Structures are given as C-alpha cells and as structure tokens.
Amino acid sequence: MASNTPNKIRRLSIPKQFNPKANKAYNKLDGYEFESPTSSPSIPLRSFNEDGNEKEAAFEDSTNELTEIEIDLDEKEFQQRLIDSPPDKYNLAYCIFLLLGFGALVPWSTLLTAVDYFEITYGPEYNFEFNLSVAYSVPLCLGLVIVTRFGKGYGFIPRILSGYAIFLVAFLLIPFLGVMEDKALSFALTMLLTGLCGLSDSVVEGTLYGLSGLFPPIYTQAVQGGTGVASAIISATRIITKASLPDTHDGIRKSSLIYFVISAISMVCCIASMVYLMRLPITKYWLNDTIMATSSTNEISPEIIQSFNTTLQDSHWRRNLKVSYRAILVKIWPTALMVMLNFFISLIVYPGLVSIIPSTSGTQWTWFPVIIISTFNFCDFIGKSMPLLWFHNISEKALYVLVGIRALFLPLFFLCVSPRVFNHDAFPIIFILLFSISNGFVGSKFMMIGPTKVEKHEREVTGTIMVFALILGLTLGSCVGWVIPYLL
C-alpha cells in the first residue's frame, strides 16, 4: 500500500560523532542538507509503516548527543540505500564491468583498424572506409532510440549476451566472406554484419550503462574506462598481428584472420564474464528490488551510517521525480550542440578520407592506413584522459573556440589527397595527431560539463541526451563523409 506521507523529506537522528559536517568522510554527500548538532537526549527517527502511520525509533550514543540529516528520498528507497552491500571480493565486479565496457567498443575498433585487409579484399571501387562508418553509425543511432523506447521490457542478460553473441558471429564470418568469388555479395554481407554490429552496440552499451547505474558510481566509471581504452588496445593488437607476418596480400589475410579470432575470443570472455557477474553476491544484492520492500527493521547501525558517502548516490534513486526534457534542453542545448558538432567534424574525414591518404613510402603503403588509424585511436585515448590530469578549469567558451579550430583541419586533410599539397607522410600524421587529441579532449569535457548544468534528479536524462547528441554527430558526419569519394 502506498505511503500517505505528505512529502518525501525523511529525518534521521544520528550520533554527533557521525555528523557529516564534522567528519570529512561525509563531504561527498553534496545535495543533502544537514542540520546542526543538538544536545537533545533523544531525537526520534521518523519512519512510516506501509499504511502511512508514523512510528518512532531513537538512536543514541554514549554522549546522548545527536544530529539530524534530511534526505530528499522516497521512504522505501531511503531504507533501500541503508542496507549494507556485500563486498566486491577481489574487485571482481569492477573488473568485469571494465571488461564489458571494453567489449562494447571492440566491434567498431576491430572493423576500423582492419582497413588494410578490407582495402586489399575489396579494392578502392567499393569505398569500404566510407561505407563502413555509415553502415555502423546509422543502425547505432536508430538502435539507441529503440533501446530507449522499448529496451526496458527485456532483461539485462538477454540484451547484453545477444549483443556480444552477434559480435562473436560477425568476427568469425567476416574473414571468410573475404575469400568469396562474388565480391559484390561478399561486400553486401559484410556491410550487413557491420550494421548488425552497430545495432547490437547500441543495445549492449545502453543496457550496460543501465546495469552499472544500479551499482555505486564507481562501476559506471569502470564501464567508461573500458570503452576508453578499447581502441588503443585493438590498434596495438592489429599492429602486432600485422608485423608478425610478411607485408604481402597473403600475409595480410593471415594476420587479419588471427586479428579477428582474437577479437572473437574477447567476446567469449565478455559472455562468460557477464554470466558470472550475475551470480556474484554484490550483483544479486543491487538487483534484488524486493529486499527493501519486505524489510521491516528500522535499526540503523553506525557502520551503515558511515557508508552514506558511497551508497547514497541519488542520481538513480530520484527516478520518481518528474523530469522535463524541454527544461533540460533549455539548460544544456549549447553543450549538446557542441558535442554533436565535435563528432560531426571528426566523422566527416575519419575513417574515410584519412585512410585513403596515399603514402610516399613506396612498398610500405599497406602500413600507412593502419598507422593513421592507430595514431587516431591512441591520441584520442590520450585526449579523453587529459581532463583528468590537466586543463581542469578551461572555460566552456574556450571549448567552443576549439571546436571551431578543429573544423580548420578538414581542408588540410583534403589537401593531403586532392589536390595533394602536403606531399610528405609527416603532414597527415601530424594533422591526425592534433585532430584526434582535440577530439577526445573536447568531447570528454563537454560530456562532463552537461550534467553539471542541471539538477541532480535530471542528470540521468541529461546523460541520455548528451549520448544521443554524440551519436547523432557521428551519424551525420559519416553520412556527409560518404559523399567525399564523389567529390575527389
């Protein structure tokens, strides 16, 4: 039966030594109001039965000095956050989320970094580099809309495992499609698998962030860390496999087969890890919605009080508050627009145009596109990491200027192809280095700024809007980039 309490404010009496204002351990509880300590010998903990009747309990210490905390949470949710979570033994859950985040970006990175294989397989007439980004990003964008609208009707395991299973099948089939005599059919099937990977990517990432959001925030950070490092690791894998065999057509095919098999193995690891994650006690705890609903105890131990700074993360638990998309857009539209423009600019020339820049190194031509793509992946990762280390206080207006400066790289890349003004390999490498670092840095900063412009209960929706702006930029940029071969 629903509670008949007039509002969501709940008052908790705790000993003075646990006063958040007097203890640095509670400084992270931003967003909550704390009243001054009182010398009253007994201040009741206000709680309510399911029928709405108030009942009282007191929590005293040896000094009989108590203080009060007011928390804007639903009663059931408030109780839910106070139950002590099982420990993450050996940080297994964290490591699994890290691996799952890595696996979510493996398909895009794997297909992208195998540009030399696709070039010798299909040749320039199929414009594989340009078609790849469109075939992947358009289903990715559509899939995000579908997942947002209908995805909640299905469980975490079916959505995530089906996505990784599709990745696995694609990695095993694509190398064999390349040996088909009918190149047109082979190319069409490869594009179909690429589109399925893009669609599955939206399902996996959307579900994965939703699942990690039920845990403390450190697990969402693990997912972000996994996706951030994926491109760099996949690029390193491609370089190693390519260097291990002769730089001939046969050598490239064999090294690519090894490369795709390694990616497939990583998907098997992700599938096994996901199954194991759902069996961990910490996962069962955070997913068990009935624990709090059936809990009748109102005793709160000091240990649970001390866990407030890591367990009271209200971005998820304020989901019952009304959120207006229009109100959020009014607050964040410039930031979301800049995110879209940043990735729109990047996808106009990456991976399509930059991967067809000719090399002046003669026999080493098959290495050059791999070097270009790998440089982008490594430097983009560096750019994403920079906000954690430097430039913390850079203004948003300065980031607007950086987006404009990034647009100046577009004609520079064109001048590396036709007409070829920059006739040396060093020029495109320098351009791509600066272009990719700025892409990662600007994108990460804007994604961090967006949620700071709204109220706490609006941040979950804000994150969704920002992600949609990012993917929309990727999709529009890849569509514009698809026209480039017809302009050269």
Q: What are phi and psi of 23, to 5 degrees?
A: -130, 120
| pLDDT reading at 301 higher than 80 | no
pLDDT at 294: 29
The whole-number average pLDDT for the span 155-175 is 92
| pLDDT reading at 438 higher than 90 | yes
pLDDT at 152: 59
pLDDT at 191: 95
pLDDT at 290: 29
Q: How many residues are present in the chain?
A: 488
Task: State the Cα–Cα distance between residues 26 and 428, nearest whole angstrom.
Answer: 50
Please answer whether residues 199 and 139 qualify as being in contact, where contact means their C-beta atoms are separated by less than 8 angstroms. yes
pLDDT at 217: 66
Distances (CA, A) of 382 to 63, 229, 346, 347, 387: 53, 9, 16, 18, 10
Task: State the Cα–Cα distance between residues 392 and 444, nearest whole angstrom.
Answer: 12
pLDDT at 85: 67
Burial of 379 (0-12, 13-18, 19+ CB in 10 A): buried
Task: Specify the amino acid at residue 17.
Answer: Q
68 vs 282 pLDDT, higher one: 282
- Identify the CATH number of the domain defined by range 89-279: 1.20.1250.20
pLDDT confidence of 72, banded at 50, 70, 90? very low
The whole-number average pLDDT for the span 270-275 is 96
Task: State the Cα–Cα distance between residues 206 and 444, nearest whole angstrom.
Answer: 18
- Which residues of the chain are in CATH 1.20.1250.20 domains? 89-279, 321-488
The whole-number average pLDDT for the span 157-181 is 92
368 vs 26 pLDDT, higher one: 368
For the chain, what is the HEC assignment? CCCCCCCCEEEEEEEHHHCHHHCHHHCCCCCCEECCCECCCCCEEEEECCCCCEEEEECCCCCCCEEEEEEECCHHHHHHCCCCCCCCHHHHHHHHHHHHHHHHHHHHHHHHHCHHHHHHHHCHHHCHHHHHHHHHHHHHHHHHHHHHHHHHHCCHHHHHHHHHHHHHHHHHHHHHHCCCCCHHHHHHHHHHHHHHHHHHHHHHHHHHHHHHCCCCHHHHHHHHHHHHHHHHHHHHHHHHHHHCCCCCHHHHHHHHHHHHHHHHHHHHHHHHHHHHHCCCHHHHHHHCCHHHHCCCCCCCCHHHHHCHHHHCCHHHHCCCCCCCHHHHHHHHHHHHHHHHHHHHHHHHHCCHHHHCCCCCCHHHCCHHHHHHHHHHHHHHHHHHHHHHHCCCCCCHHHHHHHHHHHHCHHHHHHCCCCCCCCCCCHHHHHHHHHHHHHHHHHHHHHHHHHHHHCCHHHHHHHHHHHHHHHHHHHHHHHHHHCCHHHCC
Which residue do the tokens 């068990």 mark?
288
The whole-number average pLDDT for the span 429-455 is 88
Task: State the Cα–Cα distance between residues 349 and 339, nearest whole angstrom.
Answer: 17
* Rounded (10°) CA dihedral 277, 280, 281, 285: 20
Mean pLDDT of the chain: 75
Specify the pTM.
Answer: 0.70
| pLDDT reading at 325 higher than 70 | yes
What CATH architecture is 321-488? Up-down Bundle (1.20)
Task: Specify the amino acid at residue 434.
Answer: L
The whole-number average pLDDT for the span 58-73 is 37
